Structure 1
């Protein structure tokens, strides 16, 4: 509902106004590394370009305070009759103390044209079962999150894993090498639901790939010692520094 309201606001007012309204005060966008979204969008001038999108999948934590959405987007320049660019967005949402969902971090990829969906698929999360009896907290999340941007293998991903890569349609391939990086400094962050069952991590910077990952905690019925499992990985190649 929050994502559809976000898109409707962009259609009714403007993309800039919609982002300024939907972003949390500490919400992030990539420019090229994680940057305060309110400041980034406040500096952008209003225009007649049209950005449309719709969610096709969503997941929410058992505590109902952290979730994500993803789906196709299309961009139509001002004055044009047809969209000129297409892709998939990926948005992490956090519910505030006032009960309202706000955008915590937003990014996306570009790819070929896809129709905007009219239904949303609910993924994982709810009903995972009792928490594990072994430690699977912040320290274990940090350890799991050490893989370089883009690096994947089948041991680290969920059965319904989603991979987002620029220039390609979303897929479930649990493979890929680390993306090249020339960064001197990389900004990173993590957030976890209050139930401790869902977490997100991100990073990027000048000369560094940008990434967002969503992690699920195992349940007591999983193999003892099972750690955090990667449910979604968005990785985008580095933006080359200006000469």
Structure 2
């Protein structure tokens, strides 16, 4: 839908030199590597708290929870396992305020899956993470810690978006982007309730990644189609519960509830997605599904007469 009052967008967004420049994703990658380097010496809880904002989100135990609930800050336990991770894929919004990395994870030297972190630049210029989550997608064949991550190119320049008549008047680019992505999420949920594979293929970016555990990361159209066959035929995706958008309005992350059936049993969890405004519209550049722990087995009925 085109909006006639497109040039009512705040002038600063049209002429700011900072937004016209290509941001440096190396800052985000450096923050992730520094975060990972702190974990062995500081411990998981202390390093996670050091590098996150106070209201950072993790999906744990089937719920979206704050960092302090999942990892209360404290000294490293003597028997804590060695947790290591490294970036294989990274990107940053054109406005330079929101970025991400994702890559392999190892526990006591054994590769166990992938992490996915959303980073936000702070007022003092530092980077802190606002979301961190894991996936059981295999890391066996991904490049190791000494490799350089693949970089996602930034979205189209804002002036091109304005000329296309996208952002409405009296709404910031970030607000407009979040509204637009929530509309996309609702459409994806409707389509996934009928055929999740077709629904996802319609919105996955050609240069994006998809995590379908326990398979390796799916990269590219052919890999997407194959990986999506490993998920149930349909999903029940709930409305977006949270997330955030870049100042520029070109990068948006979301999370929300998901439901499906597996082996005849109802399962629940959360979806987490990263959307980018590309030349062809909004596309998912990274998607993961975090299952909730399965319900405990039902207790057997008491014996008759007991």
Structure 2 equivalent of residue 9 of structure 1? 38
Counterpart of 1:92 (choices 111, 118, 126) is 118
Tell me which of 165, 182, 188 is aligned to 1:134: 165
Inter-CA distance 16–229: structure 2 relative to 1 (3 Å threshold): same
Task: Report SS of the residue matched to 2:91.
Answer: strand
Tell whether 2:205 aligns with 1:158. yes
Distance 2:240 2:155 in 1: 30
* More helix by percentage: 2
TM-score by length of 2: 0.66
Cα RMSD of the aligned pairs, angstroms, is 2.9
How far the C-alpha of 1:12 sits from its partner, in A, is 2.2
Tell me, yes or no, if the aligned pair for 2:104 and 2:111 is still in contact at 8 Å.
no
Q: Which residue of 2 aligns with 1:27?
A: 56
Give the number of aligned pairs.
Answer: 230
Instruction: Between 1-10 and 83-92, report the one with greater CA deviation.
Output: 83-92
| Offset of residue 40 of structure 1 | 1.1
CA contact (8 A) 2:251 2:274 kept: yes
Match of 1:104 among 130, 134, 138: 130
TM-score (norm 1): 0.82
Are 2:275 and 1:215 aligned?
A: yes
Larger radius of gyration: 2
Range with bigger deviation, 161-170 or 137-146: 137-146
Map Cα deviations across residues 54-112 of structure 1 (whole Å, 9 max, x no partner). Answer: 11121000111101101111001xxxxxx345111111111121212111111111225
1:195-235 deviations in whole A, cap 9, x for unaligned? 111111112489522221111113xxx4xxx5311111112
* Residue-by-residue CA offset, 1:161-191 (whole Å, 9 max, x unaligned): 20012211101333435687799x8872121
Q: How far apart are the structure 1 equivalents of 2:234 and 2:290? A: 10
Which residue of structure 2 aligns with residue 170 of structure 1?
217
Q: Is the 8 A contact 1:73 1:116 kept in 2?
A: no
Unaligned runs of 5+ in 2: 1-29, 168-175, 260-266, 298-306
Residue number among 55, 71, 84 corresponding to 1:41 in the alignment: 71
**CA distance in 2 between partners of 1:87 and 1:43 (Å):** 24
TM-superposed deviation, 1:4: 0.3
